[in-house]
Amino acid sequence: MCGIFGATDASKFEILDSANKVRGNFASGIFYYNGEGYDYNKTEGSFDWNDIKLPPGFIYLGHNQAPTSSERKWKEHNSHPFVNENWVVAHNGVLTNFNQLKKDYLPEHHNIVDSSIIPELLLHFEKTFDHANTLEKEVNLISFVLELLQGTFGLWIVNLNTMNIFLARQGSTLFYDKNSFSSAKGEGYKELKEGVIYRYTKRGIKPAGSFNVKSPFLEL
């Protein structure tokens, strides 16, 4: 079990990091940007906020990771967030068709962690959606890739070309308030709907598109 979270305030981000540590403290990852520059960091275990000072004015995205059945020893390239030339992704959940996705679309993909294939699929299919305007293209591309995934996921996704941030879930929990989100529910938080792609900005979290859900759980 893992946790994803994000905030537009550094202090709140640290609080959400603490709340999600119960979901996993094998490894931690941060991505942050302010519309002009970005950076990310990964570490074994947890970040020590006495040693790390987050720069002000950014959007902060995080991931707390439990050890997986495929990886029991920390390695940076097997930790969240997973980054390629255009996409950054952090994932909470389990993809049950990971091996089939590799076989069908990315036979040269060698990372053993299932989450790692999501940004690679986004990169692989990117050119298919070049005909649309930027935001429409992004949402349609993300929808297409999410519909390929079987199993559970709570995701934050960053397009490094546009610096747009997207959130989505299927089966995994993901809650939000006006300016933050978290796998662990906070006071006053509501649950993001399955099958909806949300765009996350400093102004809040708003629906941007949809995808067909193949959740292994029934919503009551």
Cα angle: 156, vertex 195, 207; to 5 degrees? 65
Give the pLDDT of the chain (220 residues) as one tens digit per residue: 789 999 999 999 999 999 998 876 788 899 999 877 899 999 888 888 888 788 888 999 999 987 665 556 767 677 889 999 999 999 999 999 999 999 999 999 999 999 999 999 999 999 888 777 789 999 999 999 999 999 999 999 999 999 999 999 999 999 999 899 999 998 999 999 999 999 999 999 999 999 999 866 544 3
pTM of the model: 0.93
DSSP string for residues in 82-107: EE-SSEEEEEES-BTTHHHHHHHH-T
pLDDT tens-digit profile of 59-82? 999 999 876 655 567 676 778 899
Q: Residue 58 corresponds to which tokens in the numbers above? A: 């950014």
Cα gap 143→206, rounded to integer Å: 16
Residue that the structure tokens 């994000």 belong to: 6
Cα gap 89→95, rounded to integer Å: 14
**Please, where are the H alpha helices in the chain?**
10-20, 98-105, 117-125, 134-148
Superfamily covering domain 3-210? Aminohydrolase, N-terminal nucleophile (Ntn) domain (3.60.20.10)
Contact 41, 63 (CB under 8 A): no
Cross-strand partners of 155: 91, 168
Contact 6, 59 (CB under 8 A): yes
